Amino acid sequence: MTEPPRPPGAGDSGPQPDPSAPYGSSPGSEPPTAPLSGAPGTGGYPPPGDYPPPGGYPPPGGYPPPGGTPGYGAGYPAGGGYGPAAYANNDEKTWALVAHFGGAAGVIVGGGLLGWVAPLIAMMTRGQQSPTVRAHAVAALNFQITWAIASVLAWVITVITCGILFFVPMLVWLVPLIFGIIGGVKANEGVLYRYPMTYNFIK
């Protein structure tokens, strides 16, 4: 009786892998390797240290926002204002508010003539230690001095016209009051307000 034909390679000599043996325990039982997509080399797994690739996954929590991480240097620019905006402590913020709101209160008390007192006190008391307070105080002080002079001129005009232009001091009185309040609101938000219609007497 003749033996049935064998498939090609069935009679080749050499070690045959044991199907029941785990990979690596007998010759010929290693798993086949295939090139990894994007991995360097011709195939197989990359050596340790090649992953993660440059520019790979973001760090836990994501990348920091543009301009730096708040509280660690660059931070974010303050919109709508100029100069120093952040306060180092609550004391700086308090004195900045005194400069602006105090100027508005001085306008009410002094009929438009004493709005410069509170910014001057803020600058002399805290401005030497804090550049932020000084910037707020100088901005408010220049504005209030400008409009105090305008108030004096308005009263002179009223006297010269025998009270015909009595409304002129009232209009001039409203300007430093309104803009002083606006400057205080901006300072409370951390913004150094740029007052309009101001002559810079103090740098």
Q: What is the 3-state secondary structure (H, E, C) of 17-28?
A: CCCCCCCCCCCC
In a domain, 150, yes or no: yes
Cis peptide before 77 (omega within 30 of 0): no
Please indicate, yes or no, if residue 65 is contained in any of the structural domains.
Answer: no
Residue type, 101: F
In a domain, 175, yes or no: yes
Give me the average pLDDT of each 10-residue run along the chain (203 residues).
60 57 54 50 53 55 50 38 66 94 92 90 93 95 94 91 87 93 95 92 87
Residue 103 inside a domain? The answer is yes
Digit-coded pLDDT (tens) for 160-198? 998 888 888 888 999 999 999 999 999 999 999 999 999
Count structural domains, the chain.
Answer: 1
pLDDT at residue 69 in the model:
42
In a domain, 169, yes or no: yes
d(CA 105, CA 177): 8
Q: Is 41 within the bounds of a domain?
A: no
For residue 76, tell me if it sits in a domain.
no
pLDDT number for residue 111:
79
Is the separation of the CB atoms in 86 and 136 below 8 Å? no
55 sits in the region (left: phi over 0; alpha: psi -120 to 50; else beta) called left
**Domain, as residue range, for 145:** 90-188
**Residue 114 included in any domain:** yes
pLDDT at 4: 64
Q: How far is CA 34 from the centre of its chain?
A: 49
Distance CA 172, CA 184 (A): 19
Closest by CA to 114, choosing from 73, 35, 173, 192, is 173
